Amino acid sequence: MNLNFYNQLINCIDKERVLVDEPMKKHTTFRVGGNADYFVMPQSAEEVKNIVALCKEAQMPYYILGNGSNLLVGDKGYRGVIIQIYKEMNDIRIEGDRVAAQAGALLSRVGTATLEAELTGFEFAAGIPGTVGGAVVMNAGAYGGEMKDIIASATVLTQDGDIITINKEDLELGYRTSVIAKRGYVVLEAEYQLQKGDKEAIRARMDELKVQRVTKQPLEYPSAGSTFKRPEGYFAGKLIHDAGLRGFRVGGAEVSEKHCGFVINKDQATAADILELMRQVSAKVMQEFGVKLEPEVKTLGEF
């Protein structure tokens, strides 16, 4: 541990919210990953700003984490600072048909809040296992809906250390991308524009989508959701299935038999197992169909 850097960190944020040598398998939905040198949990935009500024000044690598639902951390861990924007920054405020949510709020929590407020439009997102911040960065979508359909604005921390609000038309929301991703901004909060709706109809739609998820996705195993992006004109899961890879394993990692678009941690997989499985799946699909599969899951740290 760099004691000087650690002391500077605990000047930015309470000591109990700074962890040292923290196992990343505790903070990713794959349930794999070695230790991060530092793991911090800011409670405010100001703390995020100060921690990022300190990391830049000290030339210390840093990574912004939500609930770890789209991330594969290497078995040897991460040499730097993980800044987790999650449970310490998860406030949700509703005024009329506008919903403001801090970046650490789970989409499921926002979904519950919008249901109670009888607001429609968020149903598609309520079952996505991620945070508001991650969803905005990658324009998360499911079942025909995307963040771009409902977002009004996002408040972000820029690379220059400024906190600004970007309106929807300037967010450049595309398939799994945004201006935030392109410019390395940090999402602090998002505001959504929804519509008044019928509470029972909203609940019924959420229940319907939940049933689809439970029956079609391998939710009983650790995974990072859809492993690959959707190639134009194709479905990744179907390509993988048609390549004969249903149930294919490397170590403890497996192509789900329930849904071939998911790589799962079937039996104490390592990050290396998962990465190698992804590599072999991509190679086989390219060989069979000439289609390149791009990972949707991000990789971080040392493998």
Q: Could you list the active site residues?
A: 176, 226, 296
Beta-bridge partner residues of 131: 106
Query: Cα 61 vs. chain centroid, distance in angstroms?
Result: 19
Q: What are phi and psi of 85, to 5 degrees?
A: -100, 100
Neighbours of 196 (CB within 10 A): 10
**With contact defined as beta carbons under 8 Å apart, do 72 and 275 qualify?**
yes
Indicate the length of the chain as a whole number: 303
Percent of the chain that is helix, strand, coil (3-state, to 5):
35, 25, 40
Residues 6+ apart with CB under 8 A from 189: 45, 100, 101, 102, 103, 132, 154, 155
User: Rounded CA gap, 72 and 33, in Å?
Assistant: 7
User: Rounded CA gap, 21 and 201, in Å?
Assistant: 47
User: Rounded CA gap, 154 and 53, in Å?
Assistant: 21
88-121: burial string, b at 16+ Cβ within 10 Å, e else: bbbebebeebebbbbbbbbbbbbbebbbebbbbb
User: Rounded CA gap, 69 and 82, in Å?
Assistant: 15
- Pairing mode, strands 98-102 and 92-95: antiparallel
